[in-house]
Structure 1
Amino acid sequence: MFRRIVQTLGSTIGIFCISFLTSVLTARYLGADGRGILASWLLIATVSAGLSQCGFHQSSIYFSRKLSKNKALPFFNFSLFIVVTLTAITGAVIHTFIELSAVILPLICFSVVYSLFFFLSNILQIEKDLKKFNIVKLVYPLVILIGVLLAVFSENINLQVALFSYGFSASLCAFVMLVYFIKRYKWTTPTLTLKRYCAFSAKYHGTAALGILVNNIDKLLLISLIPAAMFGNYSVAFATSRVIGTGINAISTVLFSQFAGEASEKVDPFTRSFRLAFPIFLLPTAALSLSAFFWVPLVFGEDFQPAALLFSILVFEAFLSGMGWILAQRFNSEGKPGIVLLRQIISVLPIGLIFFVPSGYDIAITMAYLMLISAIVRLILTAWLYRLSFSEVDIIPRSSEFKELLSHLNSKVKNVVR
Structure 2
Amino acid sequence: MNMAVAKNRRDYSMIQNILMTSFANILIMGVTTLTSIVTARMFGATGKGELAAVLFWPAFISGLAALGLPTSLIYNVKKHRDQLPTYISMSFAVQLPISLIAGIISWFGIPLWLSGYSESVVTIARWYTVSMVPILLLMGVLAASAQGTEKFHIYNLSRLLAPLFNLFGLVALWATGLLTVEKAIMISFAANILVLLGYMFMMRQQIFGSINQLVAQFKTCIHLFSYGIRVYGVELLGTLYNQFDKIIILALLTPMDFGLYSVVYALSRMFNVVQMAITNVIFPKVAGMEQGKVLTLVGRAFRISMVLMTIIIIPSMLIGRFFIGLLFGPEFLQASSTFYLLSLECIVGGGSWILASAFNALGRPGVIVLRQVIALGVTITLFFVLTPLFGLFGIGLALLLGSFVRILMSLISISVIFKMPIRKMLYDRADISFLKDRLREKNILKGAGKDAKLAKDSSHG
TM-score (norm 2): 0.84
Q: Is the 1:71–1:186 contact (alpha carbons within 8 Å) kept by the matching residues of 2?
A: no
CA distance in 1, matches of 2:27, 2:387: 42
Say which of 9, 23, 44 aligns to 2:57: 44
Q: Partner of 1:151 in structure 2?
A: 173
Gaps of 5+ in 1: none
What amino acid maps onto 2:19 in structure 1?
A: V
Q: Is the 1:54–1:83 contact (alpha carbons within 8 Å) kept by the matching residues of 2?
A: no
Q: Is the 1:36–1:231 contact (alpha carbons within 8 Å) kept by the matching residues of 2?
A: yes
Q: Partner of 2:210 in structure 1?
A: 186
SS at match of 2:179: coil
Q: How many angstroms does 1:110 deviate by?
A: 3.2
Structure 1 pair 355–264 and aligned structure 2 pair: CA distance change class (3 A): closer
Say which of 15, 18, 21 aligns to 1:8: 21
Q: How many angstroms does 1:97 deviate by?
A: 4.1
What amino acid maps onto 1:186 in structure 2?
A: S
Q: Is the 1:245–1:318 contact (alpha carbons within 8 Å) kept by the matching residues of 2?
A: yes
Q: Do residues 324 (structure 1) and 324 (structure 2) align?
A: no
Q: Partner of 1:199 in structure 2?
A: 226
Say which of 372, 377, 396 aligns to 2:426: 396
Say which of 20, 31, 39 aligns to 1:26: 39
1:140-179 mapped onto 2 (5 Å cutoff): 140-179=162-201
Q: How many angstroms does 1:59 deviate by?
A: 1.9
Per-residue CA deviations over 1:156-185 (Å, capped at 9, x if unaligned) read 222122212211111111122234444334
Which is worse superposed, 301-310 or 172-181?
172-181
Q: Do residues 405 (structure 1) and 435 (structure 2) align?
A: yes
CA-based RMSD: 2.5
CA distance in 2, matches of 1:32, 1:413: 52
1:157-306 mapped onto 2 (5 Å cutoff): 157-184=179-206, 185-187=209-211, 188=214, 190=217, 192-193=219-220, 195-266=222-293, 267-306=295-334
Say which of 324, 327, 338 aligns to 1:310: 338
Q: How many angstroms does 1:373 deviate by?
A: 0.2
CA distance in 1, matches of 2:186, 2:218: 43
Query: Which structure has the greater CA radius of gyration?
Result: 2
CA distance in 2, matches of 1:195, 1:254: 25
Which is worse superposed, 319-328 or 64-73?
64-73
Q: How many angstroms does 1:191 deviate by?
A: 7.9
Which is worse superposed, 50-59 or 183-192?
183-192
Q: How many angstroms does 1:15 deviate by?
A: 1.1
Q: Partner of 1:354 in structure 2?
A: 383
Q: How many angstroms does 1:230 deviate by?
A: 1.2
Which is worse superposed, 131-140 or 169-178?
169-178
The structure with more helix, counted as a fraction of residues: 2
Per-residue CA deviations over 1:170-225 (Å, capped at 9, x if unaligned) read 11111222344443343549484555433321111111011000001011111121
Per-residue CA deviations over 1:119-145 (Å, capped at 9, x if unaligned) read 332332122141110110111111111
Q: How many angstroms does 1:256 deviate by?
A: 0.8
Say which of 63, 74, 77 aligns to 2:76: 63
Q: How many angstroms does 1:28 deviate by?
A: 1.0
Which is worse superposed, 125-134 or 67-76?
67-76
Structure 1 pair 99–375 and aligned structure 2 pair: CA distance change class (3 A): same
Which is worse superposed, 6-15 or 369-378?
6-15
Structure 1 pair 345–97 and aligned structure 2 pair: CA distance change class (3 A): farther
Q: How many correspondences in the alignment? A: 415
Q: Is the 1:52–1:90 contact (alpha carbons within 8 Å) kept by the matching residues of 2?
A: no
Which is worse superposed, 189-198 or 317-326?
189-198
Q: How many angstroms does 1:58 deviate by?
A: 1.7
Per-residue CA deviations over 1:52-97 (Å, capped at 9, x if unaligned) read 1111112223223223446434223323324422431443354144
Q: How many angstroms does 1:282 deviate by?
A: 0.8
Structure 1 pair 358–42 and aligned structure 2 pair: CA distance change class (3 A): closer
Q: Partner of 2:127 in structure 1?
A: 105
Q: Is the 1:98–1:224 contact (alpha carbons within 8 Å) kept by the matching residues of 2?
A: yes
CA distance in 2, matches of 1:86, 1:124: 27
Gaps of 5+ in 2: 1-13, 446-461
Q: Is the 2:78–2:284 contact (alpha carbons within 8 Å) kept by the matching residues of 1?
A: no
TM-score (norm 1): 0.92
Q: Is the 2:128–2:185 contact (alpha carbons within 8 Å) kept by the matching residues of 1?
A: no
CA distance in 1, matches of 2:402, 2:42: 34
Q: Is the 1:110–1:167 contact (alpha carbons within 8 Å) kept by the matching residues of 2?
A: yes
Aligned-residue sequence identity (percent) comes to 23
Q: Partner of 2:103 in structure 1?
A: 88
Q: Is the 1:255–1:329 contact (alpha carbons within 8 Å) kept by the matching residues of 2?
A: yes
Q: Is the 1:48–1:94 contact (alpha carbons within 8 Å) kept by the matching residues of 2?
A: no
Per-residue CA deviations over 1:268-292 (Å, capped at 9, x if unaligned) read 1100111111110012222222332
Structure 1 pair 85–414 and aligned structure 2 pair: CA distance change class (3 A): same
Q: How many angstroms does 1:389 deviate by?
A: 1.9
CA distance in 1, matches of 2:16, 2:338: 35
Q: Partner of 1:381 in structure 2?
A: 409
CA distance in 2, matches of 1:413, 1:39: 48
